[in-house]
Amino acid sequence: MTQGYVVNIKKAAKDNAFFRKVLVTGTKSQLVLMSLRPGEEIGTEVHKVDQVLYVVDGEGKVVLDGVDKEFEKGEIVFVPAGVQHNVINTDDEPMKLFTIYAPPQHAPGTTHRTKAVAEEAEREALASTKA
């Protein structure tokens, strides 16, 4: 990316219906929108990168190394690289959030309409690295 990027992030997050949508990728960080359906979760994961998550709409819980914490609109969570984490939507409405990875975690332009599509893409990526 050679230019800056300006967006009303709260509006973009509220309008997003995709499980994952990469908005912009720089050399050292990445901005991603996410939408979790009622009862849906990101899934327990560990990254080699730092991650910051901000809830724009909804509520749920975040699990950091096995410790649950309520997580709602207006709150931010910092997840250092190497920390096992999960975000779970416990609300009856979609949870809208954005996340920043540093450095980038996903390929630029990645869009996953649903969690199932995201999981399949991750399985394919894992299989191709083993081949």
Domains of the chain: residue spans and CATH: 9-130 (2.60.120.10)
* Residue tagged 């081949």 (tokens): 131
Report percent pLDDT > 90 for the chain. Answer: 82
Identify the three-state secondary structure at position 15: helix
Write the CB contacts of 8 (distance below 8 Å, at least 6 apart in sequence). Answer: none
Judge whether residue 1 has pLDDT over 60: no
Pick 84 or 130 by higher pLDDT: 84
For the stretch 71-120, pLDDT in tens is 999 999 999 999 999 999 999 999 999 999 999 998 899 999 999 998 89
C-alpha distances in Å from residue 10, one per residue of 19, 61, 101, 107: 16, 20, 17, 23
3-state secondary structure (DSSP) of residue 94: coil
